[in-house]
Structure 1
């Protein structure tokens, strides 16, 4: 945890950018090069984890918890990011479907993406925004 506490906002934005690029790269790999995770359901857990990380890193980079007006920042930037995150989750499946590398869009993958993203979004709100609002009241 000491490493995370030494990171600044610019570092989180860089990590979020790299994470986003990593998601796009991972989704372009042909399915023949990956183990069969579909049968175990591990594929959905991986999707949820990828999008939870995406959400946490971007929210931390956009609305740092040490911001004076975190609640206002979260309403303004968080709302736009929420819409962008939903579009990204759905768009990645469309992107996979359009690729000529044995990838297919899967509505269950979209559901796992949205679930991971939603958990990250709500978790960030409850842990940082609501806690900050209560402390300042």
Structure 2
């Protein structure tokens, strides 16, 4: 499941999307980044434990930097920050759900 979700994130992050600037204007892109990486955090924590943080931060950094080479995409610090914050929330949610169940 982890590999599949990483592939989905890579695909969605690296396809040229002419609509991307419109999403950036409204801030919707930050919500999408946050949600995608929150789910990544939960899946990764379940699959690989301690390494989930380094995997998520690495993926978020690499995809942001690769967007420099993709038409209609741009490298943005706040996208990366949304990735990292979502990842942290997802990892935290994993532990919370695990504790409750």
SS of 1:86's partner is helix
Superposed displacement of residue 56, structure 1: 1.4
| More helix by percentage | 2
Is 1:51–1:113's contact at 8 Å kept on the other side of the alignment? yes
Cα RMSD (Å): 2.0
TM-score by length of 1: 0.65
Is 1:56–1:120's contact at 8 Å kept on the other side of the alignment? yes
Is 1:28–1:101's contact at 8 Å kept on the other side of the alignment? no
Considering only CA atoms, is the larger Rg found in Structure 1 or Structure 2?
1
2:17 aligned with 1:46: no
TM-score by length of 2: 0.85
2:4 aligned with 1:18: yes
> Which position in structure 2 is the counterpart of 1:112?
82
